[in-house]
Amino acid sequence: MQNELRTALPTNEERRTAGRALRERVKRGDLGRWEPRKDRPDPIDLIEEAHAGRLDHLIPVRIGRMAASPYAFLRGAAALMAEDFSSLARTGLVRRCAPRQLRILRLAGARPGVRSQ
């Protein structure tokens, strides 16, 4: 049963070929450009909408934590980021590693920027 759940990983050459095919569809430079859409909702409205369902007396605590640093703001503004990301070029690839997981990897001794083969 255990072997039935495993799938073979693509070879380096297969991954390289797939990456080149994606670059034909979405150029690298397109991934680094962002301009707000003309119909972009007000960021403050999106943050206030995220308060729905929260205890009223904890909302100022949330806002205070978001104001502490840019990183804390981004952690508390997921709806805002999702709205902004929705207009970016799409490669079809999905990022499955959260910032917290990256921090854990660094603490475990993984060197940033070094990929394992």
Q: What is the pLDDT of residues 56-83, one digit of tens each?
A: 999 999 999 999 998 889 888 888 888 8
Neighbours of 81 (CB within 10 A): 13
- Average pLDDT for residues 33-45, to the nearest whole number? 87
Given a cut of 80, whether residue 38 has pLDDT beyond it is: yes
pLDDT band of 22, cuts 50, 70, 90? confident
| pLDDT recorded at residue 5 | 67
Residues of the chain with pLDDT > 70: what percent?
75
Domain ranges of the chain: 7-107
HEC assignment per residue over the chain = CCHHHCCCCCCHHHHHHHHHHHHHHCCHHHHCCCCCCCCCCCHHHHHHHCCCCCCHHHHHHHHHHHHCCHHHHHHHCHHHHHHHHCCCCCCCCCCCCCHHHHHHHHHCCCCCCCCCC
Residue 22 carries which side chain, given as an amino acid letter? L
Return the closest-CA partner of residue 66 out of 56, 80, 52, 76: 76
CA distance 2 to 49: 45
Give residue for tokens 């475990």: 108
Backbone angles phi, psi at 9, to 5 degrees: -80, 150
CA distance 110 to 55: 39
- Average pLDDT for residues 107-113, to the nearest whole number? 52
